[in-house]
Amino acid sequence: MFQLNNKTALVTGGGSGIGKDVCKVLAKQGAHVIVVDLNTESAKGTVDEITANGNSAEALTLDVTKLLAVTTAFEKLNGLDILVNCAGISHIGTATTTSEADFEKVFQVNVKGMFHCLQAGVNAMKKSGGGSIVNISSIAAKVGLSDRFAYSMSKGAVNAMTMSVAKDYIKDNIRCNSISPGRVHTPFVDGFLKNNYPGQEAEMFEKLSKTQPIGRMGKPIEVAHQVLYLCSEEASFITGSDFSIDGGFITLNS
């Protein structure tokens, strides 16, 4: 089950965090994975881990906020079967404390960057006869989270774009779904705690972990396994849906 032999997958934000585990899981199941990241060394690091295990991958340095660069890169692909949009940034702030510059930065990466990849990805998939797209959203698109104004805005847009693409290209054999993780333990979380709570990292990590009813943060691999399912033939009847992977945060905290 869940085999991706002879499939080409492109994963943005594949150099670290959730994106990195997505790349490794898809490659393990037989896909040739194009690891896209703004950081060249991070992308190469993911590729090295994949190829060391005998699987297939290549690195692509790309700024998803640049339409021409994205379009050019996708046009060079020799077919595209899977697109996973993981690239994204976060921001701490409310509607009154968020600067215009910070709002614009979040919008450029999380919304416009995904739009660029969706546009180029759909065009590539139409030439290949179809495919599966998975967009990484967040529970922030569904519930009110403190100090996440710009980030929540961007993830709400991700959910809307997902449904729109699913609707518009269903006749082209293109499926589009999204995943909304709760708190997932990634290097970003460790950096956030170190920068904002120096000396209290362990205490705050425990506090944040317990906001999930299940009692811990998620793991990147757990999100990656959901991505694998949605990209596989076993999920061929699923499109236009969002899947919460949040340890019960939304349903059990309400």
Does residue 244 share a domain with residue 230?
Answer: yes
The pTM assigned to this predicted structure is 0.95
Q: How many CB atoms lie within 10 A of CB 128?
A: 16
Does residue 135 share a domain with residue 67?
Answer: yes
Does a structural domain hold residue 236?
A: yes
Range of the domain at 72: 8-182+219-249
Does residue 207 share a domain with residue 150?
Answer: no
Residue 30 pLDDT: 98
Does a structural domain hold residue 237?
A: yes
* Candidate list 151, 169, 197, 229, residue with the active-site label: 151
Does residue 205 share a domain with residue 153?
Answer: no
Q: Is 90 exceeded by the pLDDT of residue 141?
A: yes
Centroid of chain to Cα 123: 20
Task: Give, in order, the Cα–Cα distances in Å from 46 to each of 52, 145, 200.
Answer: 10, 31, 31
Residue with tokens 């967040």: 138
| Closest among 14, 11, 5, 22 to 181, alpha carbons compared | 22
To the query of whether residue 169 is one of the catalytic residues in this protein, the response is no
- Residues 6+ away with beta carbon under 8 Å from 217: 182, 183, 184, 185, 189, 208, 209, 247
Does a structural domain hold residue 3?
A: no
Does a structural domain hold residue 2?
A: no
Does residue 229 share a domain with residue 134?
Answer: yes
Q: What is the pLDDT of residues 153-194, one digit of tens each?
A: 999 999 999 999 999 999 999 999 999 999 999 988 888 888
Does residue 195 share a domain with residue 244?
Answer: no
Average of per-residue pLDDT across 122-139:
97
Q: What is the pLDDT of residues 30-41, one digit of tens each?
A: 999 999 999 999
18-22, 53-57, 249-253 — which is least confidently predicted?
Answer: 249-253
Contact 114, 41 (CB under 8 A): no
Residue 195 pLDDT: 85
Does a structural domain hold residue 94?
A: yes
Q: What is the pLDDT of residues 101-121, one digit of tens each?
A: 999 999 999 999 999 999 999
Residue 192 pLDDT: 80
Average model confidence (pLDDT) for the chain?
Answer: 96
Q: What percent of the chain lies above the pLDDT cut of 90?
A: 92
Q: Is 80 exceeded by the pLDDT of residue 93?
A: yes
The 3-state secondary structure of 3-59 reads: CCCCCEEEEECCCCHHHHHHHHHHHHCCCEEEEEECCHHHHHHHHHHHHHCCCCEEE
Does a structural domain hold residue 254?
A: no
Does residue 36 share a domain with residue 52?
Answer: yes
> Please, what is the Cα angle at 62 between 239 and 60, to 5 degrees?
85
> Please, what is the Cα angle at 87 between 85 and 91, to 5 degrees?
130
Helices 113-128 + 67-75 axis angle, to 10: 20
CATH number, domain of 57, equals 3.40.50.720
Does residue 74 share a domain with residue 29?
Answer: yes
Does a structural domain hold residue 86?
A: yes
Does residue 19 share a domain with residue 87?
Answer: yes
Does a structural domain hold residue 1?
A: no
Residue 72 pLDDT: 98
Residue 189 pLDDT: 87
Does residue 86 share a domain with residue 193?
Answer: no
Look at residue 137 and give its three-state secondary structure.
coil
Quote the number of domains for the chain: 2
Does residue 213 share a domain with residue 139?
Answer: no
Average of per-residue pLDDT across 85-100:
95
Does residue 66 share a domain with residue 41?
Answer: yes
Residue 254 pLDDT: 63
